Amino acid sequence: MGDLVTSIPTLNPGERLLCGPGPSNVNPQVLQAMQLNMNGHLDPDFWDILVDLAAGLKALWRNPDGLSLCFSASGTSGMEAGITNLVAPGDKVIAIHAGFFGARLADLARRHEADLVEVTAPLGQIAPLEAVEAALRANPDTKLVAVVHAETSTGVRYPVPELSALVRQVTPDALLMVDAVTSLGGEQVEAAGWGIDYGYSCSQKSLGCPPGLSPFTVSARALEVQKANKHRGPYTYDIAELARYWVDRPITYHHTMPILQYYALYEGIRLGLEEGLERRWARHQDAGQYFQAQMRERGYTFLSDPQHQLWELSAVNVPEGVDGKEVQGKILRQFNIEVGGGLGPTAPPIWRVGLMGVNANREAADRVLAAFDAVLPR
Ligand SMILES: Cc1ncc(COP(=O)(O)O)c(C=O)c1O
């Protein structure tokens, strides 16, 4: 038998500038919100908070109809919930992917016994719309098309409006599921305008909140599909059950929410709306493009096809002969700055630099650039 300790050390995490693929640093005002009086999850005053939060989520997703709520778990739960709510075993799903998170989406569809069709491309590219069109035409019985809007593993943006138009034209009854984990709050996401039937995100990237929540949005027609789905997925992520808690009154207990996390999300969204979504997107764009231009000037190149380059996240190719992990470690230890490396066993040697949430500005970019310059002199 092993030994049991009688105490553990006082918690003392070091200060970090979080410029990896997420989490980003928590906005100090968001942290303050987590120190407000905690109500219980069945307190009528907390229900009022939820009503305002749901209104904020609608505004954030730009979806006046349907439902915009949140799962009490990280972005992966939003991904899984999309499949379990909207797909029954044997349903045809087209997963479009060229990166770690898109591949995970396909994997989840497979786990839930969907009849899976995959449309892929090399890392750094997007799966071409022509290939998607061919897959749609070959599979007119498609129930769901799933794609990652901002692929954090490669720094690539998928053209969701064009995809949506194609899906509506070729297979109008198929639902469109979009991963907006990295994009929501950091660039334009228009759930209603782009015809997104189910979108999910996270709290810890462009929204500047702590990790652990997954805001989602569902269209009215996807809600009908969910209601008619005879295959009931996990109770925890059942959208209809969750809505009975968030929307129906008197409230029906679903689960004990992590209330302080929800205060944080509330404040994060309140601040986002106060800043103005367009201004916030422009701030992310400016920071990312500034960082990329500065890196290019230094001779660095990027994994992503420039036509589809994200600005929230830059996947920088590690130059020949450089040990990427060592550089990443030095930047962390000498400069207290977190940048990411490649994700998954097939990732090429890259650094992933995120400028999201409170870090989406040129000052944070300059700190990262200075760290690269010091560790890898030109
Ligand atoms: C595009 C994308 N999808 C899904 C996820 C999973 O989110 P989480 O780690 O919050 O579960 C991530 C996380 O980085 C992501 O970047």
Domain harbouring 351, CATH code:
3.90.1150.10
- For residues 78 and 96, membership in a common domain is answered with yes
- For 217, the token pair is 């949005």
Residue 39 falls within a domain, yes or no?
Answer: yes
Domain harbouring 246, CATH code:
3.40.640.10
The kind and range of the H/E element at 146 are strand 144-148
Residue 9 falls within a domain, yes or no?
Answer: no
Residue at a domain's end among 233, 258, 273: 273
75 ligand 1 Cβ < 6 A: yes
Report residue 150: phi and psi, to 5°.
-120, 100
Alpha-carbon distance values, 97 to 80, 153, 322, 338, 374 (Å): 16, 11, 29, 27, 36
- For residues 57 and 149, membership in a common domain is answered with yes
Distance 9 CA to ligand 1 centre (A): 31
Distance 181 CA to ligand 1 centre (A): 6
Chain centroid to Cα 301, Å, comes to: 25
Residue 11 falls within a domain, yes or no?
Answer: no
76 ligand 1 Cβ < 6 A: yes
Residue 136 falls within a domain, yes or no?
Answer: yes
Residue 10 falls within a domain, yes or no?
Answer: no
The alpha carbons of the chain give a radius of gyration, in whole angstroms, of 21
Residue at a domain's end among 273, 297, 323: 273
Residue at a domain's end among 239, 273, 307: 273
CA angle 87, 92, 98 (to 5 degrees): 95
Distance 8 CA to ligand 1 centre (A): 31
Alpha-carbon distance values, 79 to 73, 84, 101 (Å): 11, 9, 10
Supply the pLDDT for residue 135: 98
H helix runs in the chain, sequence order: 28-33, 44-61, 75-86, 100-111, 129-138, 160-170, 220-228, 239-246, 259-275, 277-297, 324-335, 362-375
Alpha carbon distance, N-terminus to C-terminus of the chain: 54
Residue 86 falls within a domain, yes or no?
Answer: yes
Supply the pLDDT for residue 166: 98
Q: How far apart are CA 346 and CA 60, in angstroms?
A: 34
71 ligand 1 Cβ < 6 A: no
Mutation test of ligand 1: which of 18, 70, 72, 76 has the most ligand atoms closer than 8 Å to its C-beta? Answer: 76
pTM for this structure? 0.98
- For residues 267 and 189, membership in a common domain is answered with yes
**What domain range includes position 217?**
29-273
Which residue has the least CA distance to atom 9 on ligand 1?
Answer: 75
- For residues 218 and 164, membership in a common domain is answered with yes
Residue 97 CB-half CA count within 13 A: 24
pLDDT along the chain (378 residues), means of 10: 95 97 98 97 94 98 97 98 97 98 98 98 98 98 98 98 98 98 98 98 98 98 95 94 92 94 98 98 98 98 98 98 97 98 93 98 98 93
- For residues 307 and 266, membership in a common domain is answered with no
Residue 8 falls within a domain, yes or no?
Answer: no
State the total domains in the chain: 2
Q: Spell out the residues 6+ positions from residue 224 whose beta carbon is closer than 8 angstroms to its own.
A: none
- For residues 118 and 158, membership in a common domain is answered with yes
